[in-house]
Structure 1
Amino acid sequence: MGEIDWEKYSIEDFLSGDFGNYNYSSELPSEAFGSAPCRSESLEISSQALVTIYVLVFLLSLLGNSLVMLVILYSRSTCSVTDVYLLNLAIADLLFALTLPIWAASKVNGWVFGTALCKMVSLLKEVNFYSSILLLACISVDRYLAIVHATRTLIQKRHLVKFVCLSMWLLSFILSLPPFIIRKAIYPPSFSPICYEDLGNSTTKWRMVLRILPQTFGFLLPLLVMLFCYGFTLRTLFKAHMGQKHRAMRVIFAVVLVFLLCWLPYNLVLLADTLMRTRVIAETCTRRHEIDRAFDVTEILSFLHCCLNPIIYAFIGQKFRYGLLKIMATYGLVSKDLLARESRPSFIASSSGNTSSTR
C-alpha cells in the first residue's frame, strides 16, 4: 500500500460523518480547505446500537430473502416475468445483507480487514444499490407493457427476461467500478483505520463526479422511468375498472413505495449537501451539522431496505403465503387443512399469463 499524503486531508475529514465507511456515494471533505472548520456534531448513536441494528437487519434479510428465493424457485415452472425480476431483487438484497456483519464489526474496531475486503464489500454494496432500483424500473416497464399496451408475445419470452436481468447486473457492476477501484484501507494517525476512497491529489472535481453518478443513473433516471410507467399503468387500471389487476399490483406498488421511503430521504440529503458544496446554497456550520445528522439517520434507514421486501410479500402477497405454506405442507411442517384454508387465489396477473409467486 502506497503512502497516504495526510496533508491533503484536514482533521475534519475524519471527524465528519461524511468520512464514514457506509455512504453509497463518495463524499466530499467536510469543509473547504482554507475555511474555518466546524466542530463535528454527528448524531450520537452508540456503536453497540448500530451493531444491533445491523445484525437484526442481516438476520431478517437472510431469512426473508432466502424464503422468497425458495418459493420462486420451487414454482419456477409457472413463475411469471415479474417473479424473475423479484428473484433477482432478492438475490441483490441477500448479497448486500451478507456484508452487514463486516460493516458492523468495523463500527466497533475500525476497518481492520485490509484493502481487498474493503474493495469487495464496497462493490457488493454498490451493486445492490444500483441493481435494486434498476430491477424495479424493469418491473415498471414490464407492467406498463402488459397492462397499458397489452403486450404479451414479446415480454413473455423467458430468455429475453433473463437477458434483461443479466444486462441490469452488468450495468450495475460497471457503475460500481469507480468506488471499487479507488477504495482502500486507510490508516490515519491517531484514528481507527477506515475503508475509504483515496483519490490522490484529485479533489472536488472527481468527488463530485463520483457523487453525481449514483444520483443520476442509480436513482433519478430509474425513478423517472417508474413514475412514467406506473402513472400510465394506474390510469389504465382505473379507467378499465380492472379490479383483479388492482389487487395483483398492490405488492409491486408496496415494493416501490418502501424503496422510495428508504432511499428518497438519503438522496434528498445528498442533494442538499451537493448544493451546499457547489455553493448553490450558503454553507454554515449549523447547516453542516444538520446535514451530518440527517446523513446518520437516512443511512440507517436505507440499510433497512434489504430486509423489508419479504415482509411485504408475507403481509400483502397472498400467493407468496400460499406458495410458502405449500412447501411447508409438502414436508409435513404444517397441516394440509391450513393450506386449504389459505386457498389459492383465483386471479392471474402476470405478463406471461402465469401466476406470480409473490403476489
Structure 2
Amino acid sequence: MNASEAAVNASVPRGFNGSERCPRDARMAQLVFPAAYTALFLAGILLNSLALWVFLHIPSSSTFIVYLKNTLVADLLMALTLPFKILSDARLGPWQLRAFVCRFSAIVFYEAMYAAIILLGLIAFDRCLKILRPFGKFFVQKPAFARAVSALTWTFLVALSLPNVILTDREAMPATVRKCAALKGPRGLAWHQLVNDVSQAIFWTVLALMLLFYAVIARKVYESYRRSRSRDSRSQKKVEGKVFVVVAVFFVCFAPYHFARIPYTHSQTHGAAADCRLQDRLYLAKESTLFLAATNICMDPLIYIFLCRKFTDRLPCWKRRRPAVPGPENHSTQTDNMTLS
C-alpha cells in the first residue's frame, strides 16, 4: 500500500459501508439490486418517453402543467443515471466507471430525486389552492410563478450539488473507487455531510407541508361529500379521491428511504462501535428503500393520468369516461374542476 492509499483508508472509518471489517453480501449488491434496477430503468424509460411525447403537445398554460413538466424532467434525469449505477454495482464495467458514478451520475441522481420531492410538494400546494380557490387568480396560481419557483428549485439544487462534484477530487484508483467517500478530502466530506443535512431538511419540510395541505384538502372533500345531493355519488367519490394520489406517491416512494436513512447514517458515523450484522441490515434497508425511492420514475405517471385531463386526452387510444352532467342538481362538476386540470 502506497502513501496515498494509506491516507485515503485513514480518512474512511473502519466498517464504513463495505469496508474490510464488515463486507457486504455480494449477491444482493451485485445481482439482486442491479436486476431490479434494470427492470425499473426499462419501465421508467418507456413511461417517461410516452409522457414526454404527450407533454410536448400540451402548452404550459397552468401552474399544474408547469410543475408536471418539471417533474418529468427530474424523472428522466433519474432514469438516465440508472444504467451507470447498474453496470457499476454489477461490476460489469471498468473501475473508471465506478469513479464516474461517484463523481457525477450518483450526484445527478440525488439532485433529481430531491427536485422531484420539492415538485411533489409544489403540486400538493397547487391542488390545495385549486380546492380553496378554484377560480382564484392569485399570483401563485399563474404559470409565470410556477416557472420562476421551478427555476429557483433547480438553481438551488445545482448550486448545492456542484461542490460535491468538484470536491470529489482525490485520485481515482481501483482500490479507492470501491467507496465514494474515499474520493473526497476533508472539505469534500464536510460538504457531503452538509448536503445530507440539507436533503433531510428538504424532505421533512415538504412532508410537514404536504400533511398540512392534505388535511385542508381532506376537510374540503368531506364537506363536499356532505353537501352532495346526488343520488349516486360514486363517480364524485372517485373524482375526489384522485387528488390523494400525490400524497400516496410521496409516502410510498420517499418516506421509507428517509426513515431508514437516519439509523444508517448513525451507523456510518459510529461504524467502529456498530455490530457488523446490524450494519449489514441497515445497509440492505437503505438500499432497498433507495430502490423504492427510484420507483418514483414509474409512479409519477399515475399523477399525470389521474389528475391531468389534458394529459389523458392526448394519450393514444385512451378513452376517457367523463361523468354526465344531467342538470343543476349534479354537484360533482365543481369538484371535478378542483381536482382535475
Is TM > 0.5 for Structure 1 vs Structure 2? yes
The letter of the residue matching 1:240 is S
Once residues 190 and 116 of structure 1 are traced to their aligned partners in structure 2, the CA distance between those partners, rounded to angstroms, is 15
Distance 1:308 1:145, change over 3 A: closer
Ranges in structure 2 where 5+ consecutive residues have no aligned partner: 325-332
Distance 1:208 1:343, change over 3 A: closer
Q: How does 1:1-359 map to 2 (within 5 A)?
A: 4-9=4-9, 18=17, 38-42=21-25, 44-45=27-28, 47-76=30-59, 80-107=62-89, 108=91, 109=93, 111-113=95-97, 118-148=102-132, 152-154=136-138, 155-184=140-169, 187-188=172-173, 190=175, 195-196=180-181, 198-201=183-186, 208-217=193-202, 219-241=203-225, 247-248=238-239, 250-276=241-267, 283-311=274-302, 313-314=304-305, 316=306, 319=309, 322-325=312-315, 328=316, 339=319, 342-344=320-322, 347=333, 356=341
Distance 1:321 1:200, change over 3 A: closer
Once residues 192 and 204 of structure 1 are traced to their aligned partners in structure 2, the CA distance between those partners, rounded to angstroms, is 15
Give the Å deviation of 1:88.
Answer: 1.1
Give the Å deviation of 1:298.
Answer: 1.8
Is the 2:260–2:286 contact (alpha carbons within 8 Å) kept by the matching residues of 1? yes
Is the 2:245–2:302 contact (alpha carbons within 8 Å) kept by the matching residues of 1? no
Give the Å deviation of 1:215.
Answer: 0.9
Once residues 122 and 101 of structure 1 are traced to their aligned partners in structure 2, the CA distance between those partners, rounded to angstroms, is 11
The letter of the residue matching 1:200 is G
The letter of the residue matching 2:145 is L
Distance 1:5 1:324, change over 3 A: same
Give the secondary structure class of the aligned counterpart of 2:28.
Answer: coil
Give the Å deviation of 1:276.
Answer: 4.6
Give the Å deviation of 1:232.
Answer: 1.6
Give the Å deviation of 1:131.
Answer: 0.7
Give the Å deviation of 1:80.
Answer: 3.9
Give the Å deviation of 1:42.
Answer: 4.1
Give the Å deviation of 1:118.
Answer: 4.8
Is the 1:110–1:194 contact (alpha carbons within 8 Å) kept by the matching residues of 2? no
Give the secondary structure class of the aligned counterpart of 1:75.
Answer: coil
Once residues 185 and 280 of structure 2 are traced to their aligned partners in structure 1, the CA distance between those partners, rounded to angstroms, is 27
Give the secondary structure class of the aligned counterpart of 1:40.
Answer: coil
Is the 1:115–1:184 contact (alpha carbons within 8 Å) kept by the matching residues of 2? no
In terms of fraction of residues, the more helix-rich structure is: 2
Once residues 277 and 47 of structure 1 are traced to their aligned partners in structure 2, the CA distance between those partners, rounded to angstroms, is 21
Residue 24 (structure 1) aligns with: none
Deviations 1:309-344 (A, max 9, x none): 225655x5684774244xx3xxxxx5xxx74xx444
Give the Å deviation of 1:293.
Answer: 2.3
Once residues 82 and 265 of structure 1 are traced to their aligned partners in structure 2, the CA distance between those partners, rounded to angstroms, is 26
Give the secondary structure class of the aligned counterpart of 1:323.
Answer: helix
Once residues 284 and 15 of structure 1 are traced to their aligned partners in structure 2, the CA distance between those partners, rounded to angstroms, is 9
Distance 1:343 1:8, change over 3 A: closer
Is the 1:68–1:87 contact (alpha carbons within 8 Å) kept by the matching residues of 2? no
Once residues 263 and 91 of structure 1 are traced to their aligned partners in structure 2, the CA distance between those partners, rounded to angstroms, is 18
The letter of the residue matching 1:177 is L
Give the Å deviation of 1:183.
Answer: 2.7
Per the normalisation by structure 1, the TM-score is: 0.73
Ranges in structure 1 where 5+ consecutive residues have no aligned partner: 20-29, 31-36, 329-333
Distance 1:124 1:8, change over 3 A: closer
Deviations 1:100-159 (A, max 9, x none): 111112122354248667533234212212111111111122222222355721143221
Once residues 321 and 237 of structure 1 are traced to their aligned partners in structure 2, the CA distance between those partners, rounded to angstroms, is 24
Give the Å deviation of 1:92.
Answer: 0.5
CA-based RMSD of the aligned residues comes to 3.8
The letter of the residue matching 2:121 is A
Deviations 1:9-46 (A, max 9, x none): 26986975x36xxxxxxxxxx6xxxxxx8533447316
The letter of the residue matching 2:41 is F
Once residues 275 and 86 of structure 2 are traced to their aligned partners in structure 1, the CA distance between those partners, rounded to angstroms, is 32
